[in-house]
């Protein structure tokens, strides 16, 4: 009799722990989807604002036209989507819907940037990499290529990278695959309107990037060093709650 009670008690405790873990996982997963949808709505408003701004600035000199502010938020949305997909699976309906919406936002940002470049010339031309991948187990190098592109983006902050799931059922992506002649061999990268198939290292991709991007990055880096040497500031990084003090450079 005592053994039976012990087994029942053990079963009840185990079930309670399992149920708590399950509901906690579901709760936080749903919260993450809500967060992604909130960012998605904000980006949609930004894109509409950018379209309106482009119309309004049609007669304004290009020197007064600023850079697109959408890319950082698109990157944030992409990171959140990746985590949500890892939690809920690639076939989850919410994940598929958000990936489609995210892909359309990327294409919209890409088209708006190209339109601005056509209007204002090479000085306002951003550098793009369009990346086609698959996460269905049929692309052995896609995950590695993703890490490479993340590193490349860190080296060249002005570089814009748009990532598209090759297998996503979306006519806009199908059109891009047709335009850039992307077949089923992945990973595939489009740089300066040329398509490259297969895994590329950071060094290989750097050779394919235009010199204008490298010069701009080097100039920006040198400018920051000069500013630090001339005016050594006390820097407070609130985003990571890290405080750093820059000491005065020796004359």
Using an 8 Å Cβ cutoff, are 112 and 47 in contact? yes
Distance CA 212, CA 210 (A): 5
Beta strand 242-245 with 194-197 is unpaired
Residue range 173-193, pLDDT digits in tens: 999 999 999 988 999 999 989
pLDDT at 163: 93
Q: Please say whether the beta carbons of 186 and 142 come within 8 A.
A: yes
Which pairs with CB-CB distance under 8 Å and at least 24 residues apart come from 135-140?
A: 135/85, 135/90, 135/165, 136/90, 136/167, 138/186, 139/186, 139/187
Q: What is the pLDDT of residue 164?
A: 95
Residue pair 6/58 in contact by the 8 Å Cβ criterion: no
Instruction: Report pLDDT for 230.
Output: 46
What is the reported pLDDT for 240? 32
Cα angle 191-196-198, degrees, rounded to a multiple of 5:
135
- Which region holds residue 193: left if phi is over 0, alpha if psi is between -120 and 50, else beta? left
Task: Yes or no: say if 40 and 94 are a contact pair by the CB < 8 Å rule.
Answer: no
Question: How many Å separate Cα 66 from the centre of its chain?
Answer: 21
Q: Residue 141 contacts by C-beta under 8 Å, 6 or more apart in sequence?
A: 186, 187, 198, 199
H or E segment to which residue 245 belongs: strand 242-245
Asked if the bond preceding 149 is cis, omega within 30° of 0, the reply is: no
| pLDDT tens sequence across 92-106 | 887 788 888 888 888
CA 165 to chain CA centroid, nearest Å: 13
Which portions of the chain are predicted below pLDDT 70?
A: 1-12, 15-16, 18-33, 35-37, 39-73, 122-124, 214-251
Please state whether 137 falls in left (phi above 0), alpha (psi between -120 and 50) or beta: left
Domain locations along the chain: 1-57+69-121, 127-219
Secondary-structure class of domain 127-219 per CATH:
alpha beta
Instruction: Please give the DSSP secondary-structure letter assigned to residue 234.
Output: E
């Amino acid at each position: 009799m005592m053994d039976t009670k012990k087994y029942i008690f053990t079963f009840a405790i185990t079930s309670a722990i399992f149920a708590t873990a399950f509901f906690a996982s579901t709760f936080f997963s749903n919260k993450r989807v809500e967060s992604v949808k909130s960012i998605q709505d904000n980006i949609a408003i930004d894109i509409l604002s950018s379209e309106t701004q482009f119309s309004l600035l049609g007669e304004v000199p290009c020197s007064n036209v600023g850079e697109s502010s959408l890319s950082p938020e698109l990157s944030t949305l992409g990171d959140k989507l990746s985590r949500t997909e890892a939690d809920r699976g690639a076939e989850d309906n919410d994940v598929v819907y958000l990936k489609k919406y995210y892909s359309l936002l990327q294409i919209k940002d890409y088209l708006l940037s190209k339109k601005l470049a056509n209007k204002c010339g090479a000085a306002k031309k951003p550098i793009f990499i369009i990346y086609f991948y698959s996460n269905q187990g049929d692309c052995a190098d896609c995950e590695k290529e993703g890490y490479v592109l993340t590193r490349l983006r860190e080296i060249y902050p002005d570089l814009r990278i748009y990532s598209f799931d090759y297998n996503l059922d979306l006519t806009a992506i199908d059109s891009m695959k047709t335009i850039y002649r992307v077949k089923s061999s992945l990973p595939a990268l489009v740089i300066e309107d040329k398509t490259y198939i297969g895994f590329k290292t950071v060094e290989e991709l750097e050779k394919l990037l235009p010199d204008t991007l490298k010069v701009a990055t080097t100039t920006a880096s040198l400018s920051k060093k000069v500013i630090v040497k001339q005016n050594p500031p006390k820097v407070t990084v609130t985003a990571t709650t890290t405080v750093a003090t820059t000491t005065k450079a020796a004359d």
